[in-house]
Chains A and B, each alone.
Chain A
Amino acid sequence: MVAEVETSGSMQDRRRGGAASNLARSEQINGWLFIMPALVLLGIFMVYPILWSLWMSFQVGRGMNFSFGGFANIIRLTQDPVFIRALSNTLLFLAVQVPIMLMLALLFASALNDSKLWGRGFFRTAIFLPCVTSLVAYSVIFKSIFALDGIANQALLALQLIENPINWLSDPFWARVVVISAITWRWTGYNMIFYLAAMQNIDRSIYEAAKIDGVPTWARFWFITVPMLKPVILFTAVTSTIGTLQLFDEVNLLTNGGPSDATLTLSLYIYNLSFRFMPSFGYAATVSYVIVILVGVLSLIQFLIARDRRR
């Protein structure tokens, strides 16, 4: 009797097991069908170009006439003064602009987080607005502000800070200053919003406790706010680094890389190599992989620096 029950039980189990695996398989198929459209699009427009550009980076030749060149493009990189120029410009922008922008964003955020500040809604909007304005419009306005007879020169002359107007866009040093100011102006508010959101999650009584305990204002900022925002600071540092390494629009519209390549960036160089000069798609692909490697290495370094030492 017992044996019989067991047999029928195990048979039932097997039958049920078969049904279950059928069900699991049909669920899997359904799942794949559901995500298939997105996967196909991703494959065509993301994966395929990435792999294609990797293959292209080993091709040499002009226009559509190319042939496999092995490491020829990588050797060309090391001997190309324009590439070295573009790389050093990009790294310079990165090293100067990202820290300035993030520090400004942090200061603005902590000032605007003060509930007693008059007109903080206005200032918040004003500082955030640049990153939603049209790129071309703001470039045109920046160009006119920094023209030889633009408002920047007029103001500095009127304040008697300078004797002669500054040739903003045709002096290598000042052209870089203009580009850095432009991207800082455009992206500070964007980063500030992340800091503000994170600050509003900090329990107010933490600051009140510090205040009662006699912790000075600068120390509350440096020893409480900054450490508590560390994950957000890391996030903005990584995204800003990526953004600046890919810097293209501002230099293209404001200076076009000039004067004499003083503001040429890697992205602009890639564009020039592909579409402006005699097309050299293979070499352009190699340069774009330089950006990929830079982004990977710098992000890794930032993650390592910000890693929690306690774990």
Chain B
Amino acid sequence: MSSVKLRDVRKSFGHVEVIKGVDLDIEDKEFVVFVGPSGCGKTTLLRMIAGLETITAGNLDIGGERMNEVDPSKRGIAMVFQSYALYPHMTVRENMGFALRFARVPKDEIARQVNEAARILALDPLLDRYPKQLSGGQRQRVAIGRAIVRDPEVFLFDEPLSNLDAELRVHMRIELARLHKELKTTIVYVTHDQVEAMTLADKIVVMRDGIIEQAGRPLDLYDDPANQFVAGFIGSPKMNFLAATIVEKAAGNVTLELANHGRARLTLPLTGGTVGEAVTLGVRAEHFGEAGAGGADISLDIDVAEHLGSTSYVYASAGGEALVVEREESRHENGRSHIVVSIDPERAYLFDSQGQRIR
């Protein structure tokens, strides 16, 4: 059993509270990704699980045992750092086997475990090299190998891919997903890259300012964000936000007027909200429809179009509001200065002035 439970966990540095009460259940063998903008407390929370930061208040359980005061080495965890944290004066083999020497593991057993980890990570030919003779991706694999050798119940990853170039990052992402399948252990992973979060996670934890904004499966967060922050953070390109006012309410229906789009009206199948309330309409770039497809049609001036081949992103604006629209047929629209698209009421989200979802 290697589940991790956090109950009202808090952390203060002096008078500044950086983790403001976190409740989270991480199941056995789950791949959980903490994601959020820099300074949101995700790395601090990970370091608290690792035991590198003390827990000011609350309860941390790993494998059903309270771990608040337990030494980092006795929590059954292993951590991979952003800077790799390899010992520069030791070979790859020594780096991976170093910690086992102090756990009174016999020499031939250390060699066996190091070789096994090297096999999993395809490090065999590099075992006698020094870290400075390795590329960034290879160093990262050694750091992961050093964690694997300890056979931990929970792996902690602190932004492990952010020092790698874009191509290598994609490659290592796939490697990590494969590794999780092979090792079948719990993984807690911190990143600020929502693409990494979406592709790797069983469960994404979106954090902001020391609290959890929403936790759930990647597609649940994408389909059903709890608030405007999560809606804007998950998904690429970012969700478009349009200023609107509620002008009419009927049973199960809310009618909006879009201020910056010629007072176009749109009726959403929602029950919340009050007439006259200023709200924000959220529409993803990929959810705009062809003009006349139903809902509301809005006319946009095209600023720039990016053609990626299979799809295109049109950066457009109207009434001072910048929007991104994904268009599959955009290559035929070269030279046009404006487009008309429709908003599908079934695929639009409504947020109140506090950023909370209106359902």
Chain A contact residues, CB within 8 Å of chain B? 203, 205-206, 208-216, 219, 223-224, 227-228, 230, 310
| The residue from A208, A216, A227 contacting B52, defined by CB atoms under 8 A apart | A208
Chain B contact patch, size range: 20 to 34
| The residue from B85, B86, B89 contacting A227, defined by CB atoms under 8 A apart | B89
Cβ-defined contact, A212 with B79, below 8 A:
yes
Contact stretch, chosen from B70-78, B169-177, B336-344: B70-78
**Which chain A residues lie closer than 8 Å to B98 at the CB level?**
210, 213, 215, 223
| The residue from A205, A223, A224, A310 contacting B81, defined by CB atoms under 8 A apart | A205
| The residue from B74, B87, B102 contacting A224, defined by CB atoms under 8 A apart | B87
Can you list 21 pairs linking A and B with CB atoms under 8 Å apart? A203-B85, A205-B82, A206-B85, A206-B86, A208-B50, A208-B85, A209-B79, A209-B81, A210-B87, A210-B98, A213-B98, A213-B99, A213-B150, A214-B73, A214-B74, A214-B102, A215-B98, A215-B102, A216-B102, A219-B102, A228-B88
Chain B 40-84 against A: per-residue CB contact (8 Å), 1 yes, 0 no?
A: 000000000011100000000000000000001110011101110
A-B pairs, 4 with minimum CB distance? A214-B73, A213-B99, A205-B85, A209-B85
Cβ-defined contact, A213 with B78, below 8 A:
yes
The distance from the CB of A173 to the nearest CB of chain B, in whole angstroms, is 41
How many residue-residue contacts, CB under 8 A, span A and B? 56
Complex Cα spacing A110 to B52, Å: 19
Interface centre among A203, A209, A310 (most CB of B within 10 A): A209
**Which chain B residues lie closer than 8 Å to A203 at the CB level?**
83, 85
| The residue from A205, A214, A219, A230 contacting B83, defined by CB atoms under 8 A apart | A205
The distance from the CB of A107 to the nearest CB of chain B, in whole angstroms, is 20
**Which chain B residues lie closer than 8 Å to A206 at the CB level?**
85-87
**Which chain B residues lie closer than 8 Å to A224 at the CB level?**
87
B interface SS class: loop
The distance from the CB of B90 to the nearest CB of chain A, in whole angstroms, is 8
**Which chain A residues lie closer than 8 Å to B74 at the CB level?**
214
Contacts A206-B87, A224-B87, A227-B89 given; indicate if A214 touches B99 (C-beta within 8 A): yes
Chain B 20-55 against A: per-residue CB contact (8 Å), 1 yes, 0 no?
A: 000000000000000000000000000000111000
Cβ-defined contact, B85 with A213, below 8 A:
no
**Which chain B residues lie closer than 8 Å to A209 at the CB level?**
79, 81, 85, 146
**Which chain B residues lie closer than 8 Å to A223 at the CB level?**
98
B16 at the interface (CB under 8 A from A): no
Given contacts A208-B81, A212-B50, A213-B73, 20 further A-B contacts (CB under 8 A): A206-B86, A208-B50, A208-B52, A210-B87, A210-B98, A212-B51, A212-B52, A212-B72, A212-B78, A213-B78, A213-B98, A213-B99, A214-B74, A214-B99, A214-B103, A215-B99, A216-B102, A219-B102, A227-B89, A228-B88
| CB-CB nearest in chain B for A212 | B72
The distance from the CB of B44 to the nearest CB of chain A, in whole angstroms, is 13
B313 at the interface (CB under 8 A from A): no
The distance from the CB of A297 to the nearest CB of chain B, in whole angstroms, is 28
Complex Cα spacing A95 to B74, Å: 43
Contacts A211-B73, A213-B150 given; indicate if A310 touches B79 (C-beta within 8 A): no
| CB-CB nearest in chain A for B130 | A310
Complex Cα spacing A211 to B53, Å: 12
